[in-house]
A and B are shown apart, each in its own frame.
Chain A
Amino acid sequence: MADAMYKTNKGPFVSLMTGLPGGGKTFLGILLVAALLVPLSNLLLPASSPFHVPTYLVSLMGKYVCFALLALSVDLIWGFAGILSLGHGAFFALGGYSMGMYLMRQIGDRGVYGHPILPDFMVFLNWTELPWYWYGFDMFPFAILMVMLVPGVLAFVFGWFAFRSRVTGVYLSIITQAMTYALLLAFFRNDMGFGGNNGLTDFKDILGFDLQATGTRLGLFVASLIALALGYLVCCFITQSKLGRVLIAIRDAESRTRFSGYRVEYYKLFVFVVSAVLAGIAGALYVPQVGIINPSEFSPANSIEVVIWVAVGGRGTLWGAVLGAFLVNWGKSYFTGSFPEAWLYMLGGLFVFTTLFLPKGIVGTSGTWIEKFKERRRGSPELAPAAAVKEE
């Protein structure tokens, strides 16, 4: 499978334009179609039509797209560099909080207490002035910068320490979990200045557009799709480049790669930071669509759930992660609505089943079946591996 993905050798740009890895073009096509059809059907078709997409569904799908971007960011590091982060929800939440702070500042004097600058919860806590770290968040470009910078810097600092001292495997997973747990506890504190356990909510508008309006929701949905498509292209670009191949080498034999003269920690650090920034962007798009961000986004359980989306879809396949995020979250919405008791059994069972029977995920496993099927049609199964060797 890996051979098929990297058959071009013309440099990353050319390969990105000429041949996206397995199913990439189809995937981007689907995103494009969704970006076109969903708004059109919502706006043009009458509500009675079976093809009409109601607004709540637009927001729900927008939420899934954000989760998909988060899953993509996890797949980038887990699938291609072997870094299993159990704390990626933290980067997601930090991006979300940055966006939430912008949205809070946009409320202005329309809050319950009507204070022109201070958000409601600060007035409630009897604060008299804005903490310094809230400065600048009334400007959208600054907020967007922070959406990427805050998770990026945290990932850089964390990764710098972790990778330089060669913390790998489960140890890394456990300390990423500790990181998100520490942030969870920290954000629960009222004196942190992020709204304590209520978080940030009651948003009114973004860039002057009313958040409740259908047009804004469609805009956010399309923006999320664009972000997902761009994120996908970035991930393809990274994984198809030479850097990406070093990453795969690190995933499969870290010590050997190091002995071959590569500075393993820098490669890992780079991809970790990129992944954190992607997660942050996902969080920033998520918050205006669900209308709230609170510390529970930091909970370690959330981060582990992201990993299972990737595992279900197929680790190291990029669009498989997206598929997994959609499937699991759709299942979650369906089951928590219809059979709330059963959902945790389902989710737990999914973890066990996937790891035991679908180690490569849906995409990977079906890929293997298709390969086998093609080989059988070619006739002689013995020749197929030899052909693959020749191709390389």
Chain B
Amino acid sequence: MRITIKTIIAALMYLLATQATAYADLADAAKGLLSKSYNEKIAATEAIAATGDAQAALLLETLLSGDLYATKSDDRLVYREKTGGGYQIRDIVTDEDLGVVKSGDIIKIRINNRMRGLIKDLLGRLTLLNEDPALRLKAANSVFKSRPKEMIVPLTDALAAEEDASVAAAMRRALAALNFVHGDTTEVQADALLILEEQANPDVRSLLSAEANRLAAIQDPSPEIQVLATAVSKALAKVEEKLEMLGLVENVFQGISLGSVLLLAAIGLAITFGVMGVINMAHGEMVMIGAYTTYVVQELCRNFAPDLLVYSLIAAIPAAFIVAGLCGIAIERSIIRFLYGRPLETLLATWGLSLILQQFVRTIFGPTNKEVSSPEWLSGAWEITGGLALTYNRIAIILFAAAVLFMLMLVLRKTSFGLQMRAVTQNRKMAASMGIRTGWVDAMTFGLGSGVAGMAGVALSQIDNVSPNLGQAYIVDSFMVVVFGGVGNLWGTLVGALSLGVTNKFLEPYTGAVLAKICILIFIILFIQKRPRGLFALKGRAVEN
């Protein structure tokens, strides 16, 4: 392996130096792949990489994925596509169309695990000069991980030519690691350390700690090595400190992300439970309806407007709000309004309703999970440094939750409907005497709460399974959030959701996910004993009843 890498690297360097002249024949190099001996195949693979041909990477990738074939008649390397009568084959080097053949006419080029590892390595280095910055970044990271000495020169060259800042940073890190590991003098190593200690990366940590252990094990160290050892341990401490910070940041992010999911699920409940004093056990089902609305909108888009499919998620937000909101108004007008002042009965009736809604959805859509795909602009992650990556869909949910909270605040504070709603909350009779149609306000409030739950369903469809039981999973949690934060107070809901989410994520590494949740539940049960009305309790007589 050692020798093979050296060979390739040498070839690569040669290639870098004299790119134009060293244009070896790719097809010739690839001939060796037809051999039965794996050693010859390996030699051929190296030769292919050494050509540096534009097709080389493609050839290696095809080989790696097991899609490379040879024709039996004239030993040409081809890839195939299935057609009606057999396989359409094309030459891998020239891309020439060779017509349709039967599956017996071509033979697969087999590779073993040793070749697989080698090909991956080769591909990593071939792409260091690729046009696509993402691929260059990947290549730099692969060099950083394997750290072959021979890469120092090509990497230095590539770094000099690099224009993209993030790729350059990755290359600099990789180069520093190379210099640190293979550096001839302690000065070179010390310089490399200066760069490495700025990196918050688990791989840097393992590299440094391995080196620190090695240096510590040396008998009778020379003063130079002693200096180096202290520098290494200092750098290691620095990296570890940074990593710890990153871990903290990641935990907070995860916690906030979980918190915003809880916030989304609970905020509608905070309105119906908090403002109206209605225990809506069917709240989770409003979330579920929202998620199913997302699914339906997506399917409609797929069938009638495939171009707009990427935006179906955005279209689903108002749709879910309206559908769930209308459901909410219907529920309020048909059931809940007869049960005002009897909270326990409301609880039972809405529970029954939730069973009906679940079964209804199960009857229509079937009991299996429905697939709501994430649009492309939500996939992927924002990589801040090596140790920390924040996925876009989580970020989107946090932003979405914030936006929903803000809108809701706006509605409650700045609109006349919000004013009427608050008036009814504080003193129903007085509000009625002032000419507010309390029945209408009740229905609208319930619709608003349900609609917000529906929007939560849009967000949850991105991170959870869309199934008839979706709402059940969140109902206990949302009640906990509302009760913990204090009823009738959106700030309380916000603080409650975020603190429960963050606490949960901080407990998880020590206790495991399930025990963390149990701890949270016990904590809330104890907390309610101390503050029966939650963190932010409304004061006044209206609350007492």
A120 to B44, CA, bound (A): 58
Once the chains bind, are B352 and A182 in contact (CB under 8 Å)? no
A355 to B339, CA, bound (A): 8
Once the chains bind, are A165 and B530 in contact (CB under 8 Å)? yes
A173 to B346, CA, bound (A): 12
Q: How far is the CB of B331 from chain A (nearest CB, A)?
A: 10
Once the chains bind, are A161 and B521 in contact (CB under 8 Å)? no
Tell me the interface secondary structure of chain A in the complex: helix
Question: Mind listing 23 A-B residue pairs with CB under 8 Å?
Answer: A158-B525, A161-B529, A170-B343, A170-B347, A173-B279, A173-B344, A173-B347, A175-B483, A175-B528, A181-B476, A182-B521, A182-B525, A185-B521, A186-B514, A188-B514, A308-B348, A344-B359, A347-B355, A348-B353, A348-B355, A350-B352, A352-B335, A359-B345
- In-complex Cβ contact of B514 among A166, A178, A189 (8 A): A189
Residue on A with the closest CB to B530? A165
Once the chains bind, are B344 and A351 in contact (CB under 8 Å)? no
Residue on A with the closest CB to B531? A165
Q: How far is the CB of B489 from chain A (nearest CB, A)?
A: 15
A301 to B473, CA, bound (A): 12
Whether a CB of chain A sits under 8 angstroms from the CB of B479 is: yes
Number of chain B residues close to chain A: CB under 8 A: 41
A350 to B530, CA, bound (A): 37
Q: A170-B279, A174-B480 are in contact. List 7 more A-B contacts (CB 8 A).
A: A162-B529, A171-B532, A179-B525, A186-B514, A311-B348, A345-B359, A348-B354
Number of chain A residues close to chain B: CB under 8 A: 42
Once the chains bind, are A169 and B349 in contact (CB under 8 Å)? no
Tell me the interface secondary structure of chain B in the complex: helix
A126-165 CB mask vs B (1 if < 8 Å, else 0) is 0000000000000000000000000000000010011011
Residue on B with the closest CB to A255? B544
A349 with B483: in contact, given A186-B518, A355-B339, A359-B345 (CB under 8 Å)? no
Residue on B with the closest CB to A161? B529
Whether a CB of chain A sits under 8 angstroms from the CB of B517 is: yes
Residue on B with the closest CB to A342? B359
Whether a CB of chain A sits under 8 angstroms from the CB of B524 is: yes
Contacts of B524 in A (CB 8 A): 175, 178
Whether a CB of chain A sits under 8 angstroms from the CB of B363 is: yes
A167 to B358, CA, bound (A): 31
Once the chains bind, are A84 and B344 in contact (CB under 8 Å)? yes
Interface hits, B119-150 → A, CB 8 Å: none
A336-377 CB mask vs B (1 if < 8 Å, else 0) is 000001001101111110111001000000000000000000
A230 to B344, CA, bound (A): 29
Once the chains bind, are A307 and B348 in contact (CB under 8 Å)? yes
A304 with B351: in contact, given A341-B359, A344-B356, A352-B335 (CB under 8 Å)? yes
Q: How far is the CB of A71 from chain B (nearest CB, A)?
A: 14
Once the chains bind, are A344 and B525 in contact (CB under 8 Å)? no
Contacts of B248 in A (CB 8 A): none
Q: Give the 8 A-B residue pairs with the shortest CB-CB distance, closest first.
A: A351-B352, A348-B355, A348-B356, A344-B359, A182-B521, A348-B352, A355-B349, A165-B529
Once the chains bind, are A189 and B515 in contact (CB under 8 Å)? yes
Once the chains bind, are A185 and B525 in contact (CB under 8 Å)? no
Whether a CB of chain A sits under 8 angstroms from the CB of B378 is: no
Q: How far is the CB of B468 from chain A (nearest CB, A)?
A: 10
Q: Which of B352, B479, B530 has the most CB of A within 10 A?
A: B352
Whether a CB of chain B sits under 8 angstroms from the CB of A241 is: no
Once the chains bind, are A349 and B476 in contact (CB under 8 Å)? no
Once the chains bind, are A356 and B515 in contact (CB under 8 Å)? no
Whether a CB of chain A sits under 8 angstroms from the CB of B419 is: no
Whether a CB of chain B sits under 8 angstroms from the CB of A177 is: yes
A185 to B514, CA, bound (A): 7
Residue on A with the closest CB to B357? A348
B495-521 CB mask vs A (1 if < 8 Å, else 0) is 000000000000000000011011001
Whether a CB of chain B sits under 8 angstroms from the CB of A324 is: no
A74 to B207, CA, bound (A): 63
A174 to B477, CA, bound (A): 11
Once the chains bind, are A174 and B483 in contact (CB under 8 Å)? yes
Whether a CB of chain B sits under 8 angstroms from the CB of A300 is: yes
